[in-house]
């Protein structure tokens, strides 16, 4: 259960997430002031596919499922995000709507960075911009591995891999 009085500090995310390591003390202070933190319950939707993403989400606790909905209404899980993961940035960088729906599968505490501030950090801090590019490339590689897994592994093998990843 998440304590509603426990607001995550940006510093706790910076320790565990390389994307923020290039920010200066002043940038961290500004980000701490601008970000908002919310608690989401299991089953809540953070955003829907084909909708505009209005910022970047940083998970302090909990698990998010990212999925696409097929023409038949069936969900196809694309990936999971967990503590210290960041999501929403690819849609912002591409200028396109979200390609997946983000749904809470375990109660979450999530910090939100508005799109304007996220883009400002990218424009003003080349180290931060490079970290975002590296993360984007890593996630592309993960997506390629996922496609291979779907094609070559059975359901039990895929489930075991997901469970190991979430721990």
Tokens of 109: 């505490």
Tokens of 114: 């508005």
Assign domain 10-166 to a CATH class. mainly beta
- Provide the whole-model pTM: 0.82
Q: Where are the domains of the chain?
A: 10-166
Q: Which residue has tokens 């979430």?
A: 166
pLDDT value at position 22?
86
Angstrom CA distances, 118 to 56, 122, 162, stand at 7, 6, 29
User: Do residues 48 and 41 lie in contact, with contact meaning Cβ atoms separated by under 8 Å?
Assistant: no
pLDDT value at position 110?
95
- pLDDT tens-digit profile of 23-49? 888 998 898 899 999 999 999 999 999
- pLDDT tens-digit profile of 106-125? 999 999 999 999 999 999 99
pLDDT value at position 156?
81
Q: Which residue has tokens 């940035």?
A: 89
Q: What is the DSSP string of the chain?
A: ---TT-PPPHHHHHHH-GGGTT--HHHHHHHHHH-EEEEE-TT-EEE-TTS---EEEEEEEEEEEEEEE-TTS-EEEEEEE-TT-EESHHHHHHTS--SSEEEEEEEEEEEEEEHHHHHHHHHH-HHHHHHHHHHHHHHHHHHHHHHHHHHHS-HHHHHHHHHHHH-
Weakly modelled stretches of the chain, pLDDT under 50: 1-2, 4
């Amino acid at each position: 259960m998440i304590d509603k009085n426990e607001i995550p500090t940006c510093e706790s995310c910076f320790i565990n997430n390389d994307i923020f390591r290039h920010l200066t003390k002043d940038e961290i202070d500004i980000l701490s002031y601008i970000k908002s933190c919310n608690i989401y319950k299991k089953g809540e939707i953070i955003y829907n596919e084909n909708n505009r993403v209005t910022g970047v989400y940083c998970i302090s606790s909990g698990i998010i499922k990212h999925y696409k909905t097929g023409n038949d209404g069936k969900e196809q899980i694309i990936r999971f995000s967990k503590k210290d993961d960041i999501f929403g940035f690819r849609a912002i960088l591409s200028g396109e709507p979200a390609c997946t729906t983000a749904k809470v599968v375990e109660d979450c505490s999530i910090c939100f960075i508005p799109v304007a501030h996220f883009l400002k950090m990218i424009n003003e801090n080349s180290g931060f911009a490079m970290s975002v590019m590296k993360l984007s490339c890593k996630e592309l590689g993960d997506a390629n591995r996922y496609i291979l897994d779907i094609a070559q592994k059975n359901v039990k093998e895929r489930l075991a891999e997901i469970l190991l990843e979430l721990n």
